[in-house]
C-alpha cells in the first residue's frame, strides 16, 4: 500500500531485483534480419548502455526485450529475467510480465501518452492493474510517484494532460508510469534525445538516483555516446544488427578495441581538447540501412579492413575482464 | 509595453545606445571595418510571445558566429529573419551596411547573398524533385547561368561527385541528403550561410564529415557562417565568436574560446555544466547526490522544469507583468532583488559582452569576486 507523499520505491518493492540475460537474440521483419544474434547480460542493479546509430538494430533489441515488437516481426533466442524466459512467454504470463518484469520507456513521450487523459490517471491505471491498488490508493500513489520523479507540485501535474507539460516533465511522467509497475528491468529507448541539454542533465541525474535506490536493472538505448559516459556501468556497441564491442564503461572509453567504437568515442561532441576550426575525426560513409554488407558489417567504412573482413563475420573474443570485441584485427593481433 | 513599465521601449534612446556600443566593441574580426551582417536591437514578437527581445550582433566577412541556446530561445527566429523569410517587429538588419529592403521583390537580392541549410535533410528537400532539380532550382529562380555541368560541380563541392542527377532524395542517407542541401545553398555563391542545426538530425559517425565539409568550404570560399546549434562543444569547434541566447536576448557574446573556457554569465555556465561528461572519469553529478541538491541548482529537475526554462511556454508568460527584468533570474542560483527589478544590459567585461548583474569571476580574478556583487545602476 502506498502512503501519499511518503514511501520510496525501495520501500514499496515486493520483488527481489533480478538481472537480465539475453542470448542469441534474432529479430526479423519479413526478409530483413534486423538483429542477428545478440547476447548480453546485465546484473541486477546495473546499467547497460546499448549504443548505435540508426538502423543498427538497437530499438529492435529494446522492443524484443520488452516484448513489444510489432505484429509480423519474429523473435528468436531467449530473454531471461529471474526464472522467466520472456521470449517464450505468452498469454496471461506475458500480460503479467509487462510493466512488472520489464517496463519500456519510449523516446517520444508526447506520442506515448494518451492526449486526453491526465498524467495522474495514466499512472494510476498502472498501479490499479499491475499492483492491484484501489481507485483512491492508486490516485494517491500516482501523486507520490510524480513527487519521486522530481516534480515539485505533483498534485497539479497529476491533473495535467501531455500538451500542458514541458518536454522534460512529460519524460518524468513516462518514468513515473514505468516505475508504477515496480519493474525489475527498465528499458529506456533514447528518453532524453529530444530534450535540451540542461533538461537532459536533470533526467540523467534523476534516473541514476532511482537506479541506486531501487536496484532496478536498466538498459539505456542511445545513439549519443556523450550520455553513455554519464549513465552506464557497461556499454554494448551495436553495428549492423550485431554487438561489435561490449565492456565496462571505462574500458570502452579508454581502450576501445573496435574501430567503430574508436570513432564513436572521438565523435565531435566529445572532442574537448581539439582547437577551433581543426578538422574533426571523421569516418567515411553512413551506417547501413536495410541490407547489411557481408562479413563484418563495418568493413565498408573501416580504415583498417582486411580481406577477411569482407568475407566472414569476425568471432567475438574476450580481450580483458568483461571486455569482448568482434573484430578480425583483434583476432589477428592475438 | 505598458505591462513592463521599468523596461525602456525599443525606441528609447537609452536602449538603442547600448547595442550600438556593443556593436563597435565586438563587431567582428579585427581589421574588418564593415560587418557583413548587422542586427541592431531586433525584436520579433508573435502576439504576446517575445521570440526576440532586442538582439544586436554582427558577423564579419568570412567569420563564423556561433549561436547557442535551448529550444524556444529564439535561435531559429534569428535565422528566419537573417534569410529574410520574416521581418522583424522592430529593429534593423543590414547587409554590407545596407538595410534589408522593405519590398518582398527587393528582398530577393538579400536571399541571393544569404543562403541557408536547414536542420532536417528529410524535411527540407522536396521528395518529388530529383537531386538535379533541387540543386538547379535556386539558379532558375534567380535567372543565373544553369546547366548540368554547373549542378554537377556544386554537388561535387559538397562531396557528392557520384550523385545521379535524376535520382531522388529518398535514395540517400541523412548525411548525403544534407550534402545535397549544402550544394543547393552553395548554388547562389552566398557570402553568408545560415546553418540551423545542420548536423543534429544526423548519425554521430556522419556528423564529423558534414562539419569537416563546412570547415573546408569556408576555407576555400571565405563564406561567413551563422552557425546555430544547441551543442556548445560543436559550436566552440566551429566558431570564431559565440552568442549565447536566452529567452530572446543575448546574454553573453564574445570569442568562442574564452566564452567556453571561462563563461561569465550563469546561463552559459549552466549550458557547459549540462554537457554530458566526455569520459566516465568525469561524471558530473555523483550517484549519491540528490538531483534536487541546491548546490546543483541548474541541474536540479525542479529548477529547470517548473521554471519553464527558455521555452515558448515560459516566453508566453514573458510578455506579461510577472516577468522579471532578467529573463534568467527564475533559474539563476545567483539572483538577488536587483535581477527582478532592473534589466541587465549587455556590457563589456573581460573581452566580451555579458548581460548579468552578478557575472561569474573571470579566470584571472580572485575568489572574492565570486560572491554576487550588486551593481549600482547609473
Q: Which domains does chain A have, with CATH numbers?
A: 9-257 (3.40.50.300)
The partner residue sitting opposite B204, judged by closest CB among A212, A250, A264, is: A264
Contacts of B77 (CB under 8 A, 6+ apart): B44, B51, B52, B86, B248
Closest-CA distance, B88 to chain A, in angstroms, reads 26
| DSSP letter assigned to residue B356 | -
Residue predicted with more confidence, B297 or A324:
A324
Kindly state whether A54 is in contact with chain B, defined as any CB-CB distance less than 8 angstroms.
yes
* DSSP label of B254: E
pLDDT exceeds cutoff 70 at A15? no
Q: What is the pLDDT of residue B274?
A: 85
The pLDDT value given to residue B211? 96
* pLDDT tens readout for residues A18-36: 899 999 999 999 999 999 9
Distance, CA of B355 to CA of B332 (rounded, Å) = 13
Confidence of residue B151 (pLDDT cuts 50, 70, 90): very high
> What is the pLDDT, as a whole number, of residue B16?
37
Which residues, in sequence order, are bridge partners of residue A25? A38
The pLDDT value given to residue B284: 57
* Range of lowest pLDDT (A6-10, A140-144, A207-211, A241-245): A6-10
Partner-chain residue, chosen from A149, A198, A268, that has the shortest CB–CB distance to B270: A198
Question: Mutation test of the interface with chain A: which of B276, B285, B297, choosing the one with the most A Cβ atoms within 10 A?
Answer: B276
State the Cα–Cα distance between residues B204 and A54, nearest whole angstrom.
Answer: 10
Beta strands B249-255 and B241-246: pairing type?
antiparallel
Whole-model pTM?
0.83
What pLDDT does A17 receive? Answer: 72
Contact check, Cβ <8 Å, A224/B204: yes
- C-beta atoms of A198 and B309 within 8 A: yes
CA distance B301 to A148: 11
User: pLDDT tens digits for B360-370?
Assistant: 987 555 443 34
**Residues of chain B neighbouring A172 (CB-CB closer than 8 A):** 301, 305
- Helix extents (H) in B71-122: 75-82, 104-113
Mean pLDDT along residues B181-196: 96
Give the three-state DSSP class for A148: helix
Q: In chain A, positions 126-185, which contact chain B (CB-CB < 8 Å)?
A: 149-153, 166-169, 172
Note whether A279 contacts B304, CB cutoff 8 Å.
no
A53 — contact with chain B (CB < 8 Å)? yes
What is the C-alpha to C-alpha distance for residues B210 and B173, in angstroms, rounded to an integer? 13
pLDDT at A272: 66
pLDDT at A193: 82
- Measure B9 CA to nearest chain A CA, in Å: 31
ipTM: 0.82
Q: Do A287 and B290 touch (CB under 8 A)?
A: no
Q: Nearest CB to A223: which of B204, B209, B211?
A: B204
Give the tens place of pLDDT for each residue, A220-230: 999 888 889 88
User: pLDDT-derived band of residue B273, with 50, 70 and 90 as boundaries?
Assistant: confident
pLDDT of A198 reads: 84
| A positions 228-257 inside 8 Å of B (CB) | 229-230, 232, 249-250, 253-254
A90 touches chain B (CB under 8 A): no
Closest approach of chain A CAs to the CA of B290, in angstroms?
Answer: 7
**Is the minimum CB–CB distance between A8 and chain B shorter than 8 Å?**
no
The model's confidence at residue A16, banded by pLDDT at 50, 70 and 90, is low
Q: What is the mean pLDDT of chain B?
A: 80
N- to C-terminal Cα separation, chain B:
23
Q: Which of residues 256-285 of A touch B (CB under 8 A)?
A: 260, 263-264, 267-272, 274, 276-284
Ramachandran quadrant class, A295 (left: phi over 0; alpha: psi -120 to 50; beta: rest)? left
Percent of chain B with pLDDT over 90: 59
Q: Say what percent of chain A tops pLDDT 90.
A: 70
- Residues shown for chain B: 378
Name the average pLDDT for chain A.
Answer: 90
What pLDDT, on the 0 to 100 scale, is given for residue B49? Answer: 86
Query: Strand, helix or coil at B369?
Result: helix
Question: Which pLDDT value is given to residue B364?
Answer: 52
- Confidence at residue B346, expressed as pLDDT on a 0 to 100 scale: 93
Q: Which residues from chain A sit within 8 angstroms of residue B198, using beta carbons?
A: none
Choose, out of A157, A192, A282, the residue to mutate when testing the contact with B (most B CBs < 10 Å). Answer: A282
Between residues B7 and B203, the one the model is more confident about = B203
Interface mutation target, options A54, A146, A166, A228, chain B, most CBs of B under 10 Å? A166
Q: Which of B207, B296, B304 sits opposite A268 (nearest CB)?
A: B207
Summarised one tens digit per residue, pLDDT across range B134-144 is 999 999 999 99
- With 80 as the cut, is the pLDDT of residue B14 above it? no
* E-assigned strand segments in chain A: 20-29, 32-42, 47-51, 73-81, 84-85, 102-105, 185-189, 217-222, 234-239, 242-248, 316-320, 323-326
pLDDT digits (tens, 9 = 90+) for A53-98: 888 999 999 999 999 999 999 999 999 998 899 999 999 999 999 9
The whole-number pLDDT of residue A192 equals 87
Q: Quick check: B324 pLDDT over 80?
A: no
What is the pLDDT at residue B301? 28
pLDDT band at B31 (very low <50, low <70, confident <90, very high): low
Nearest CA distance, A85 vs chain B (angstrom) = 31
Residue with cell 527498465: A186
Whether pLDDT at B22 is above 60: no
C-alpha–C-alpha distance, residues B304 and B297, integer Å: 8
Give the three cell numbers for residue B145: 547561368
Judged by CB atoms closer than 8 Å, whether chains meet at B204 and A269 is answered as yes
Q: Please write the tens of the pLDDT for every residue from B211-263.
A: 999 999 999 999 999 999 988 889 999 999 999 999 999 999 999 999 999 99
* A201–B276 CB contact, under 8 Å: yes
pLDDT of residue B307: 34
pLDDT in tens, A282-311: 888 888 877 899 999 999 999 999 999 999
State the smallest CA–CA distance between residue B69 and chain A in angstroms: 9
Q: Out of A208, A279, A289, name the one closest to residue B287 (CB).
A: A208
What secondary structure does DSSP assign to B110-173, as a single string?
Answer: HHHHEEEE-S-TTTSS-TTS-HHHHHHHHHHHTT----HHHHHHHHHHTT-TT--TT--GGGS-
pLDDT at B350: 87
Q: What is the per-residue pLDDT for A112?
A: 93
B142 to chain A nearest CA, in Å? 32
Contact A287 B275 (CB under 8 A): no
- Contact between chains at A152 and B306 (C-beta distance less than 8 A): yes
pLDDT for residue B321: 38
Contact A151 B305 (CB under 8 A): yes
In chain B, what residues touch A110 (CB-CB under 8 Å)?
A: none
Of A55-64, B73-82, B284-293, give the lowest mean pLDDT range.
B284-293
User: pLDDT above 70 covers what percent of chain B?
Assistant: 76
Give yes or no for residue B371 having a pLDDT over 70.
no
CB-nearest to A276 from B236, B273, B277 is: B236
Amino acid at each position: 500500500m502506498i502512503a501519499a507523499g511518503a514511501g520510496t520505491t525501495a520501500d514499496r518493492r515486493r520483488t527481489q531485483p533480478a538481472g537480465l540475460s539475453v542470448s542469441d537474440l534474432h529479430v526479423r521483419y519479413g526478409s530483413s534480419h534486423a538483429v542477428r544474434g545478440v547476447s548480453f547480460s546485465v546484473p541486477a542493479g546495473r546499467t547497460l548502455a546499448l549504443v548505435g546509430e540508426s538502423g543498427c538494430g538497437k530499438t529492435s533489441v529494446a522492443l524484443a526485450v520488452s516484448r513489444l515488437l510489432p505484429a509480423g516481426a519474429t523473435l528468436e533466442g531467449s530473454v531471461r529475467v529471474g526464472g522467466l524466459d520472456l521470449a517464450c512467454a505468452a498469454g496471461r504470463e506475458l500480460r503479467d510480465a509487462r510493466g512488472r518484469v520489464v517496463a519500456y520507456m519510449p523516446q517520444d513521450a508526447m506520442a506515448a501518452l494518451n492526449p486526453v487523459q491526465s498524467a495522474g490517471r495514466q499512472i494510476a491505471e498502472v498501479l490499479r492493474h499491475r499492483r492491484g491498488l484501489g481507485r483512491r490508493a492508486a490516485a494517491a500513489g500516482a501523486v507520490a510517484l510524480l513527487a519521486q520523479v522530481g516534480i515539485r507540485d505533483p498534485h497539479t501535474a497529476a491533473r495535467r494532460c501531455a500538451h500542458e507539460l514541458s518536454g522534460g516533465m512529460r519524460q518524468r511522467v513516462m518514468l513515473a508510469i514505468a516505475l508504477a509497475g515496480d519493474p525489475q528491468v527498465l528499458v529506456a529507448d533514447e528518453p532524453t534525445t529530444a530534450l535540451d541539454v540542461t533538461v537532459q542533465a536533470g533526467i540523467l541525474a534523476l534516473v541514476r538516483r532511482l537506479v541506486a535506490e531501487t536496484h532496478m536493472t536498466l538498459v539505456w538505448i542511445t545513439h549519443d555516446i556523450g550520455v553513455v559516459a554519464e549513465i552506464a556501468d557497461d556499454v554494448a556497441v551495436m553495428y549492423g544488427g550485431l554487438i561489435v564491442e561490449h565492456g565496462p564503461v571505462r574500458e570502452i572509453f579508454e581502450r576501445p578495441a573496435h574501430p567503430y567504437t574508436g570513432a564513436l568515442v572521438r565523435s565531435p561532441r566529445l572532442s574537448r581538447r581539439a582547437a577551433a576550426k581543426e578538422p574533426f575525426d571523421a569516418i567515411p560513409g553512413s551506417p547501413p540501412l536495410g541490407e547489411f554488407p557481408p562479413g563484418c558489417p563495418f568493413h565498408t567504412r573501416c580504415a583498417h579492413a582486411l580481406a577477411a573482413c569482407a568475407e566472414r563475420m569476425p568471432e567475438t573474443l574476450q580481450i580483458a575482464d568483461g571486455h569482448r570485441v568482434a573484430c578480425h584485427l583483434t583476432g589477428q593481433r592475438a | 509595453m505598458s505591462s513592463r513599465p521599468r523596461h525602456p521601449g525599443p525606441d528609447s534612446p537609452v536602449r538603442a545606445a547600448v547595442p550600438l556600443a556593443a556593436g563597435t566593441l565586438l563587431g567582428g574580426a579585427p581589421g574588418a571595418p564593415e560587418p557583413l551582417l548587422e542586427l541592431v536591437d531586433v525584436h520579433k514578437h508573435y502576439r504576446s510571445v517575445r521570440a526576440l527581445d532586442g538582439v544586436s550582433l554582427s558577423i564579419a566577412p568570412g567569420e563564423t558566429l556561433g549561436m547557442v541556446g535551448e529550444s524556444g530561445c529564439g535561435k531559429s527566429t534569428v535565422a528566419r529573419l537573417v534569410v529574410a523569410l520574416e521581418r522583424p517587429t522592430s529593429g534593423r538588419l543590414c547587409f554590407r551596411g545596407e538595410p534589408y529592403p522593405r519590398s518582398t521583390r527587393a528582398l530577393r537580392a538579400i536571399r541571393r547573398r544569404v543562403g541557408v541549410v536547414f536542420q532536417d535533410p528529410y524535411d527540407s528537400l522536396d521528395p518529388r524533385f530529383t537531386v538535379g532539380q533541387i540543386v538547379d532550382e535556386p539558379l532558375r529562380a534567380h535567372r543565373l547561368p544553369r546547366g548540368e555541368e554547373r549542378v554537377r560541380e556544386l554537388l561535387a563541392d559538397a562531396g557528392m561527385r557520384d550523385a545521379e542527377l535524376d535520382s531522388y532524395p529518398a535514395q540517400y542517407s541523412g548525411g548525403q541528403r544534407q550534402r545535397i542541401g549544402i550544394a543547393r545553398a552553395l548554388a547562389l555563391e552566398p557570402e553568408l550561410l545560415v546553418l540551423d542545426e545542420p548536423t543534429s538530425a544526423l548519425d554521430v559517425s556522419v556528423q564529423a564529415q558534414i562539419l569537416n565539409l563546412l570547415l573546408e568550404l569556408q576555407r576555400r570560399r571565405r563564406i561567413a557562417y551563422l552557425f546555430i546549434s544547441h551543442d556548445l562543444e560543436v559550436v566552440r569547434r566551429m566558431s570564431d565568436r559565440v552568442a549565447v541566447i536566452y529567452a530572446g536576448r543575448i546574454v553573453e557574446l564574445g570569442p568562442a574560446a574564452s566564452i567556453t573556457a571561462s563563461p561569465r554569465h550563469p546561463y552559459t555556465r549552466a549550458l557547459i555544466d549540462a554537457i554530458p561528461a566526455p569520459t566516465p572519469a568525469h561524471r558530473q553529478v555523483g550517484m549519491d547526490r540528490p538531483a534536487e541538491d541546491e548546490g546543483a541548482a541548474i541541474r536540479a529537475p525542479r529548477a529547470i522544469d517548473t521554471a519553464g526554462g527558455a521555452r515558448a511556454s515560459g516566453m508566453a508568460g514573458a510578455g506579461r507583468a510577472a516577468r522579471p527584468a532578467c529573463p534568467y533570474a527564475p533559474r539563476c542560483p545567483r539572483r538577488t532583488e536587483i535581477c527582478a527589478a532592473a534589466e541587465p544590459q549587455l556590457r563589456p567585461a573581460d573581452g566580451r559582452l555579458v548581460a548579468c548583474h552578478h557575472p561569474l569571476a573571470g579566470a584571472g580574478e580572485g575568489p572574492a569576486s565570486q560572491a554576487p556583487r550588486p551593481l549600482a545602476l547609473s
